[in-house]
Structure 1
Amino acid sequence: MKTLTIVIPEGQNNLSSVVGPYKFFLKANAHYKSLGKEPVFRVQVAGVSASTDLYGGLFSINPHTYISDVKQTDLLIIPAQAHEGLEAIVERNREVVNWVREQYKNGAEVASICTGAFLLAATGLLEGRCCSTHWNAAKKFTEMFPGVNLQTDRLITDEQGIYTNGGAYSFLNLMLYLVEKYYDRPTAIVCAKVFQVDIDRSSQSPFTIFNGQKDHSDDVILRAQAYLENHLDEKVNMDELAVSLSVSRRNFDRRFIKATGNTPVEYQQRVRVEMAKKSLETGRKTVNEVMYETGYADVKAFRDLFRRITGLTPQEYRNKYNKDAAVNSLY
């Protein structure tokens, strides 16, 4: 059984983003048990103090354990923080910041809720990566972490085992997203019905989130995106593409990252993986056939990239989402 740890930083003052994840994953476990399956996660709350008061002492959180006693976890969730005094909150929680960084290095995946992204960004793990947080905290976030590609228009970001989401109760969509990833879609649907959350907002595949990257006004980059999407099975020379668009390679990369949050190469990789996902979900082609039609010839490189973006190997993904493939694998 995996371990999920909800972190309670020093000065935690948001209860919903602690209780919400806790209840979501308990419900997902309960649903699995009702089907005769083993629960996926042991859910625990870990803090830096034995008890934390919230809202002037109206509520209190008494963690199961201290973060210093958690040597390894598989998934950890950083809840939202108070909007006021975020710099001070980060400074007060150096122990949490260091612990999160070490857990990620040891293989844990990390999710931040709303302004919990400030503590996540303080670890340095978001440098050069995409991130979302509450729109009202965007200006402060950019000031504190200029090296992070903040995209507050995105509901969920998912990059190399690091997840963030927008503000307020949109964290419920992130919980559904994680439940679908770690359990399965039927379990996410059950949670969506029980907690009455619109699953259409949370069941976005990485491509759906990625597709939102066209919501910008840079016509040159829109043309580049269209070209990359129409030449998936080709090895595109980015220098030549930049020249064809009448921009220098350096300016091309800079504008591409600013508009989409990804480099041109990363963008092409994500489009290719999405195409591969669709083929694996519905077709009868082998993994190697799908690999070749999406422009890859190196099995290991394709497998590693696919797993980094989806969390599964191509074969695991095919068995999970292609009913015919799953049935055939039993014989």
Structure 2
Amino acid sequence: MKHVTILVPHGAVMGSIELPRQVFAEVNAYLETLGKPPLFRIQMAGLTAQVPVNGGRYLVNTDVLLKDIQHTDLIIIPALEAEMDKHLADNSELAIWMVKQYRNGAELASLCVGAFLLASTGLLAGRRVTTHWRATNVFKKMFPEIELVEDRIITDERGIYSSGGGLSFVNLLLYLVEKFGGRDLIIFCSKFFQIDIDRRTQSPFMIFNGQKDHEDEPVRRAQEFIEQNVHQRITVDQLAGMLALGKRNLERRFKKATSNTVGEYTQRVKIEAAKISLVSSRHNVNEVMYSVGYTSTKAFRTTFKRITGLSPAQYRAKYNWDQLAEQIREKS
């Protein structure tokens, strides 16, 4: 039987504590119907017997104190609310405890922005991690030495796991169920919780908001120009001339401030505008392509799929309200 410890940190998000408990408990209940022993021993653990979460709206009664756990097999690290600096300081003892357990053979799995607490352990050196796409800029600033793969739903790095944003952490939970219990159990869970077990990227859900939380005013002006002229073909030379900067100087400063090259930033702004048009207008794909400054169908489709994981047509079919409503009418 695998001992699963679900951490209850200060500042935790309730859903990322209760849902993991429910997933593992449902696996045990299903096995019981088959006349088999439970697979998981599940405990919610914290530094105190009661922990306020969700800004104090809920009070979680822990099953056990961390100091009383000698060994565990899997540690689930839930998502935290905002004010990461404060929450990491409040939970520093948890980080120390996790390092000790990892060195004793435990595996670690962070859910959504629980990746910040995982990163604070120092165990991610040489490993990749993912988190909610909205938190990527903050994560990069707090942990610049860690490789963040922001489009991934799941990472598996030698006993340390992480998941993307929102409820996509359920995909990681099912991944762990399959690892410990086999394919039959993950199929049961996917049906019970109605989760697509084959989803591997959070790219289709990402919304690109230009990274402007920096103090480089010329770079900010370049960003605003790109965003306001999405229909144009904009070059680095053009921006450098407009800002009276050298080309190499602009490229260096732009990358430092935004974590993107000028070309990458321009592509992401254009594709974000295309995504909005595809879901909110009746323009065909070619019309959308021209409206964001592309003239090559191949280049547009290739770039769109690289950034979102879907073709323009697939994206529209998945998220355009008119098409979704039509599908609903056809099925009713």
User: Which residue number corresponds to residue 77 of structure 2?
Assistant: 78
**Length-normalised TM-score, structure 1:** 0.59
Letter in 2 for 1:19: E
SS in 2 for 1:127: coil
**Length-normalised TM-score, structure 2:** 0.59
C-alpha displacement of 1:56: 4.7
User: Which residue number corresponds to residue 286 of structure 1?
Assistant: none
User: Which residue number corresponds to residue 158 of structure 2?
Assistant: 160
Q: For the residues of structure 2 that align with 1:165 and 1:95, how far apart are their CA atoms?
A: 23
Q: For the residues of structure 2 that align with 1:141 and 1:58, how far apart are their CA atoms?
A: 26
Moved more, 46-55 or 145-154: 46-55
Q: For the residues of structure 1 that align with 2:2 and 2:194, how far apart are their CA atoms?
A: 26
Q: For the residues of structure 1 that align with 2:35 and 2:188, how far apart are their CA atoms?
A: 16
User: Which residue number corresponds to residue 187 of structure 2?
Assistant: 189
Q: What 5-or-longer segments of structure 2 have no aligned partner?
A: 203-258, 260-332
User: Which residue number corresponds to residue 137 of structure 1?
Assistant: 135
Q: For the residues of structure 1 that align with 2:45 and 2:165, how far apart are their CA atoms?
A: 23
Letter in 2 for 1:7: L
Letter in 2 for 1:197: I
C-alpha displacement of 1:74: 0.3
Question: Matched residues, percent identical?
Answer: 48
Q: For the residues of structure 2 that align with 1:11 and 1:81, how far apart are their CA atoms?
A: 6
Deviations 1:78-101 (A, max 9, x none): 00001x210121111110000011
User: Which residue number corresponds to residue 312 of structure 2?
Assistant: none
Q: For the residues of structure 2 that align with 1:58 and 1:80, how far apart are their CA atoms?
A: 16
- The CA RMSD over aligned residues, in Å, is 1.8
Deviations 1:189-222 (A, max 9, x none): 1111111111222xx6xxx99xxxxxxxxxxxxx
CA contact (8 A) 2:10 2:90 kept: yes
Q: For the residues of structure 1 that align with 2:53 and 2:88, how far apart are their CA atoms?
A: 18
User: Which residue number corresponds to residue 287 of structure 1?
Assistant: none
Q: For the residues of structure 1 that align with 2:142 and 2:62, how far apart are their CA atoms?
A: 29
User: Which residue number corresponds to residue 43 of structure 1?
Assistant: 42
SS in 2 for 1:200: coil
SS in 1 for 2:198: helix
Q: What 5-or-longer segments of structure 1 have no aligned partner?
A: 210-257, 259-331
C-alpha displacement of 1:10: 2.1
CA contact (8 A) 1:10 1:49 kept: no
List, as ranges, runs of 4+ consecutive aligned residues in structure 1 with deviation greater than 4 Å: none
User: Which residue number corresponds to residue 9 of structure 2?
Assistant: 9
SS in 2 for 1:3: strand
Matches within 5 A, 1:1-331: 1-12=1-12, 14-82=13-81, 84-201=82-199
Structure with the greater alpha carbon radius of gyration: 2
C-alpha displacement of 1:36: 2.2
Letter in 2 for 1:159: E
User: Which residue number corresponds to residue 247 of structure 1?
Assistant: none
